């Protein structure tokens, strides 16, 4: 296994662990409203860190972004906004369904839509079915969905035993938001696909292939 693949798996594990536990500290903040907590978290994670990491990676930060025209940047921006809306719904899902059920439903839908819709829109769904790599991808989606279901159920049992409940439990509203979250969060997949020219430009500047997607993020 190449070093890039190994590092990719490690960083994916770090990202997955972070995504799984980031909401937990919110429960410790008593004097802020949900909107204030989400805004602070969003500014740090969606604005400060991506720009900081890009500044570190790129040899000429402003020249890199200035080299693209609107036809390249606009689709990435719009799909990114779609993903951002999904993230707002993600927070509201936790609010109305609780962490376990909310995360399970939202991530399950995102997994399906984000993985399958890109090749469907590109007219390449036959590649998923007709090639060994495509079938392995579908198997991976199935295995991931089973894993999400198991973890979600385990979380529900834990929350029930510890007496943890959603802040404002509302099944109907929570399910609607979880579905919207799952669909809109798939915008990240569409954005990464639209950002391929940005990835290629980052690679041409000497950015490690493992990190070429980060400046477009």
- Whether residue 108 is contained in a domain is answered as yes
- Provide the residue-wise pLDDT of the chain in tens; the chain has 217 residues: 567 778 878 888 888 788 777 767 766 777 787 778 878 888 888 889 989 999 999 988 999 999 999 999 999 999 989 888 887 777 777 777 776 677 777 777 777 776 777 677 777 777 777 788 778 878 888 887 787 778 777 776 776 777 666 566 776 777 788 788 878 877 888 888 899 999 999 999 888 887 888 899 8
The residue range of the domain holding 207 is: 44-211
Count CA within 13 A, CB hemisphere, residue 104: 16
- Whether residue 104 is contained in a domain is answered as yes
- Whether residue 89 is contained in a domain is answered as yes
- Whether residue 199 is contained in a domain is answered as yes
Count CA within 13 A, CB hemisphere, residue 23: 19
Number of independent structural domains in the chain: 1
From residue 209, alpha-carbon distances to 7, 42, 56, 153, 188 in Å are 11, 27, 15, 37, 19
- Whether residue 80 is contained in a domain is answered as yes
Q: Would you call 160 exposed, middle or buried from its count of C-beta atoms within 10 A (0-12, 13-18, 19+)? A: exposed
- Whether residue 23 is contained in a domain is answered as no
- Whether residue 9 is contained in a domain is answered as no
CA atoms 62, 63, 64, 67: torsion sign? positive
């Amino acid at each position: 296994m190449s070093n890039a693949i190994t590092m990719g798996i490690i960083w994916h594990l770090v990202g997955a662990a972070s995504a799984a536990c980031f909401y937990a500290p919110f429960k410790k903040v008593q004097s802020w409203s949900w909107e204030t907590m989400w805004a602070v978290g969003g500014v740090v994670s969606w604005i400060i860190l991506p720009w900081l990491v890009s500044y570190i990676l790129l040899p000429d930060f402003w020249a890199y972004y200035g080299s693209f025209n609107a036809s390249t940047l606009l689709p990435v921006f719009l799909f990114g906004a779609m993903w951002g809306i999904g993230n707002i719904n993600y927070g509201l899902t936790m609010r109305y369904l609780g962490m376990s059920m909310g995360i399970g439903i939202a991530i399950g839908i995102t997994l399906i839509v984000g993985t399958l819709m890109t090749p469907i829109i590109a007219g390449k769904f036959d590649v998923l079915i007709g090639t060994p790599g495509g079938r392995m991808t579908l198997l991976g989606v199935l295995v991931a969905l089973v894993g999400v279901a198991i973890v979600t159920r385990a979380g529900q049992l834990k929350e029930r035993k510890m007496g943890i409940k959603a802040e404002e439990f509302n099944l109907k509203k929570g399910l609607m938001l979880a579905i919207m979250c799952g669909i809109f969060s798939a915008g990240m997949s569409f954005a990464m696909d639209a950002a391929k020219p940005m990835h290629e430009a980052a690679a041409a500047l000497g950015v490690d292939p493992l990190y070429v997607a980060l400046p477009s993020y």
